[in-house]
């Protein structure tokens, strides 16, 4: 699992903020996220859609939407990425830090063969490598993610692949330059349930074999249960709870985390109705006062409406931003 | 793919026959009397002259008879004799077609290059000064009539500044190179006459630019809209995440995806260019099909009118076929059997 504490983190995000200007007003989608990934560690980031988890990670690599303002600090192996010149950032992207996205069909260029797309990924960072050598590398990569008949598949276009196979191609492409960190943004969300497990297996296997740092962004806490070392729960652009995965499931400190855990479908549960958290996440620019979660929280009191909670810690590496975190051990969601 | 092309080629003769029939019928229903083009006003009252003329040009026969004779002759490459030039229409066309093709192809190259680059710039720098400037420039080209634009630019560049030559395909005093392709820019080079090549090229630039500008507007609007859509797609994000630079993202990833619809518009704009060539050729004294068609229409020169219509129709059919083939080549998702 996690390494000794003296090893510096592979990837460290501190106070990351991403704001969009619209009609002369500034809306913050990410409001000071702090988290870190150690070498070879799997960090899960969980939150509802629109919580800022994807935008935040994209912005960390300089891939924020046009016009967005990014502040705070993102360090990769000690190098500061926020404010780094674009050309330098490009050398890291796809080489040391790779990304895969939610929908593998729209994430691949429809008019380029799969081989050409992988070759491009290789040669962008190895301009001296011959096309032939890069093609050899592409074949190896397709074999690495267990795509059968790579020499035939390499000449095909994305539309000739099934959803799961396309995501394997995306993973192969991400692995092209042996990155230290892979950011997987909802890698299984667009896939069939049966295929989801296979893709997670491919990712877990690569992560284990290549000692890859992996950030797994998902809205499904259930996916993280078997695959993450640590989990960061994001709500309304902030990390509301961070903990080791077992600790999180055993002692969730934040009512939102408890809600997420309760919403995981459970075969053994006696109740037939699936639990869901009341209400909807706040809209950008219409944040509630105090704790952003208080309008949906069953335990909200006066203080929650007026004062934003500070993170409270309970044991090593477990923190939750709730006035009453860890206060009611048997608390219902 | 091959089967698709073969099938399309097999359909061609029938389509051409359709064009021939339409051209023939449309000409025969016009009000004008072709005799006025053949027989002088003074002789119109002389029944013998009129009857002789009718017999000579086959106008005494019924429409179906004339149609069958025409198609029969056409199969042997005979398009009849022009009332005005008194030369075989086929010969006139063979002489004038290369001049038009040279103009239209040059215009298409200029128009596509301008249209695509303006569209890409406008999309990439959307809602900035560059975007607005590109759109205004494109709007100018497509909304100002070619005859006005032609005259204005001819005045500015040729008369006022004197940087470009006046009307015509080549300097009037020049000895023409031997005709091989009929394209002066190519024939001069084949003859090894470089100064004459530039002479022809400088003559070509202005009319081709005027004509090209007119289609650049349509192309750039389409490219801009498509680029905006493509640039927001996820695979663009993938390309950036791979570490690709912006130039590469735009050209290799976005533009290639835009090429599919763009090729279609460029191909179909060929028809517009042929039509636009009529006016441009008149302004620039370009001895092509356009000015020939204008003369034929004015003089009720029916064989020439039908001939021009058929050639235009065939060119249109061929470019459509080429466009469709290019579409398949550019888009791997289309599989035609």
Convert the pLDDT of each residue in A1-50 to its tens digit.
444 556 689 999 999 999 988 777 888 899 999 999 999 999 999 998 88
| CB–CB contacts below 8 A, A to B | 75
- Whether chain A has a CB inside 8 Å of the CB on B262: the answer is no
> How many domains does the structure of chain A reveal?
1
User: Do residue B245 and residue A95 have CB atoms under 8 angstroms apart?
Assistant: no
Any long-range contacts for A60-65 (C-beta under 8 Å, 24+ apart)? A60/A13, A60/A16, A61/A89, A61/A92, A61/A93, A61/A97, A61/A99, A61/A183, A61/B241, A62/A86, A62/A89, A62/A93, A63/A93, A63/A99, A63/B237, A63/B240, A63/B241, A64/A18, A65/A20
> Does residue A61 belong to the interface with chain B, where contact is any CB pair within 8 Å?
yes
* Mean pLDDT calculated for residue range A309-320: 88
What is the pLDDT, as a whole number, of residue A269? 59
Q: Is the minimum CB–CB distance between B128 and chain A shorter than 8 Å?
A: no
How many Å apart are CA A229 and CA A211, to the nearest integer? 13
In a domain, B154, yes or no: yes
Domain that holds residue B149: 95-290
Specify if A108 maps to a domain: yes
Q: ipTM score of the complex?
A: 0.88
Count of Cβ atoms closer than 10 Å to residue A90 Cβ: 22
How many C-beta atoms lie closer than 10 Å to residue B36's C-beta? 13
In a domain, A309, yes or no: yes
* B296 in Cβ contact with B308 (< 8 Å): yes
What pLDDT digit, counting tens, does each position of A93-148 carry? 999 999 999 888 899 999 899 999 999 999 999 999 999 999 999 999 999 999 99
pLDDT, tens digit, 9 for 90 and up, residues B139-185: 888 889 888 999 999 999 999 998 999 888 988 888 888 888 889 89
**3-state class percentages of chain B: helix first, strand second, coil last, to nearest 5:** 75, 0, 25
Structural domain including A246 reads: 41-51+86-320
Which two structure tokens, joined as six digits, stand for B116? Answer: 């695509």
- Beta-carbon separation of A103 and B234 below 8 A: yes
The A79-80 sheet, strands edge to edge: A25-37, A11-22, A68-76, A79-80
Does residue B86 form part of some domain? no
Contacts with A121 from chain B: Cβ below 8 Å: 242-243
Give the pLDDT mean for B40-45.
Answer: 78
Residue A289 touches partner B, C-beta closer than 8 Å: no
* Whether pLDDT at B323 is above 80: yes
- Across the range A301-310, mean pLDDT stands at 91
CA distances from A11 to A51, A61, A97, B4 (A): 21, 11, 10, 54
Q: How far is B332 from chain A (nearest CA, A)?
A: 6
Angle at A59 between CA A54 and CA A64, to 5 degrees: 95
Tokens of A32: 């000071």
Mean pLDDT of chain B: 88
A150-A152-A157-A158 Cα dihedral, nearest 10 degrees: -40
Q: Is B242 touching A (CB cutoff 8 A)?
A: yes
Q: B57: how many CB neighbours lie within 10 A of its CB?
A: 20
CATH (domain of B250): 1.10.3720.10
Domain membership flag for residue B190: yes
d(CA A63, CA B271): 43
Q: Are A14 and A73 in contact (CB under 8 A)?
A: yes
Residue B247 near chain A (CB below 8 Å)? no
Specify the residue for token string 């072709």.
Answer: B34
Cβ density class B134-160: b for 16+ within 10 Å, e for less: bbebbeebbebebeebbeebbeebbee
Please indicate, yes or no, whether the overall pTM of this predicted structure exceeds 0.90: no
Q: Does residue B132 belong to any structural domain of this protein?
A: yes
**What CATH number corresponds to the domain at position A128?**
3.40.50.300
Contact check, Cβ <8 Å, A93/B242:
yes
Q: Report how far residue B186's alpha carbon sits from residue A317's, in angstroms, rounded to the nearest whole number.
A: 77
Our count of domains for chain B comes to 1
């Amino acid at each position: 699992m996690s390494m000794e504490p003296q090893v510096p983190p592979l990837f460290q995000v501190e106070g990351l903020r991403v704001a969009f200007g619209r009609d002369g007003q500034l809306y913050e989608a990410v409001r000071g996220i702090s988290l870190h990934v150690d070498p070879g560690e799997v960090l899960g980031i969980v939150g509802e859609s629109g919580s800022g988890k994807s935008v935040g990670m994209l912005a960390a690599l300089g891939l924020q939407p046009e016009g967005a303002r990014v502040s705070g600090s993102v360090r990769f192996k000690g190098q500061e990425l926020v404010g780094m010149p674009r050309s330098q950032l490009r050398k890291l992207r796809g080489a040391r830090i790779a990304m895969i996205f939610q929908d593998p069909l729209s994430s691949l260029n429809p008019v380029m063969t799969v081989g050409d797309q992988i070759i491009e990924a290789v040669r962008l960072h190895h301009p001296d490598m011959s096309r032939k050598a890069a093609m050899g590398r592409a074949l190896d990569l397709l074999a690495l993610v267990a795509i059968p008949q790579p020499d035939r598949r390499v000449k095909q276009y994305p539309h000739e692949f099934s959803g799961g196979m396309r995501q394997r191609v995306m993973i192969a492409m991400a692995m092209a330059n042996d990155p230290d960190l892979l950011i997987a943004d909802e890698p299984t969300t667009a896939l069939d349930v049966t295929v989801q497990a296979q893709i997670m297996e491919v990712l877990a296997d690569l992560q284990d074999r290549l000692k890859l740092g992996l950030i797994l962004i998902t809205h499904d806490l259930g996916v993280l249960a078997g695959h993450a070392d640590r989990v960061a729960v994001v709500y309304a652009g902030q990390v509301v709870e961070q903990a080791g995965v077992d600790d999180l499931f055993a002692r969730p400190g934040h009512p939102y985390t408890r809600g997420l855990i309760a919403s995981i479908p459970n075969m053994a549960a006696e109740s037939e109705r699936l639990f869901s958290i009341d209400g909807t996440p706040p809209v950008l620019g219409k944040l509630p006062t105090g704790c952003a979660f208080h309008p949906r929280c069953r335990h909200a009191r006066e203080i929650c409406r007026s004062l934003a909670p500070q993170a409270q810690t309970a044991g090593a590496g477990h923190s939750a931003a709730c006035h009453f975190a860890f206060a009611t051990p048997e608390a219902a969601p | 793919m091959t089967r698709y092309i073969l099938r399309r080629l097999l359909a061609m003769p029938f389509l051409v026959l359709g064009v021939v029939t339409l051209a023939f019928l449309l000409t025969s229903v016009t009000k004008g009397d072709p005799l006025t083009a053949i027989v002088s006003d003074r002789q119109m009252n002389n029944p013998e002259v009129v009857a002789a003329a009718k017999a000579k040009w086959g106008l005494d026969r019924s429409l179906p008879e004339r149609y069958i004779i025409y198609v029969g002759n056409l199969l042997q490459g005979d398009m009849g004799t022009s009332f005005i030039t008194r030369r075989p229409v086929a010969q006139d066309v063979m002489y004038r077609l290369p001049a038009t093709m040279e103009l239209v192809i040059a215009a298409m190259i200029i128009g596509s290059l301008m249209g695509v680059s303006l569209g890409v710039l406008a999309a990439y720098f959307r809602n900035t000064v560059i975007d607005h400037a590109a759109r205004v420039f494109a709007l100018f080209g497509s909304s100002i009539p070619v005859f006005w634009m032609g005259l204005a630019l001819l005045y500015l560049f040729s008369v006022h500044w004197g940087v470009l030559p006046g009307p015509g395909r080549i300097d009037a005093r020049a000895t023409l190179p031997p005709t091989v392709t009929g394209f002066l820019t190519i024939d001069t080079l084949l003859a090894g006459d470089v100064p004459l090549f530039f002479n022809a090229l400088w003559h070509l630039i202005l009319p081709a630019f005027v004509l090209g500008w007119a289609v650049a507007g349509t192309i750039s609007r389409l490219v801009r809209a498509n680029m905006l859509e493509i640039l927001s797609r996820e695979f663009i994000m993938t390309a950036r995440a791979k570490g690709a630079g912006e130039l590469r993202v735009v050209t290799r990833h976005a533009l290639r995806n835009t090429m599919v619809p763009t090729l279609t518009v460029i191909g179909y704009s060929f028809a517009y260019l042929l039509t636009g060539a009529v006016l441009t050729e008149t302004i620039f004294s370009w001895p092509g099909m356009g000015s020939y068609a204008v003369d034929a229409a004015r003089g009720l020169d029916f064989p020439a009118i039908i001939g021009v219509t058929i050639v235009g129709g065939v060119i249109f059919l061929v470019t459509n076929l080429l466009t469709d083939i290019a579409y398949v080549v550019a888009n791997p998702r289309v599989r035609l059997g």
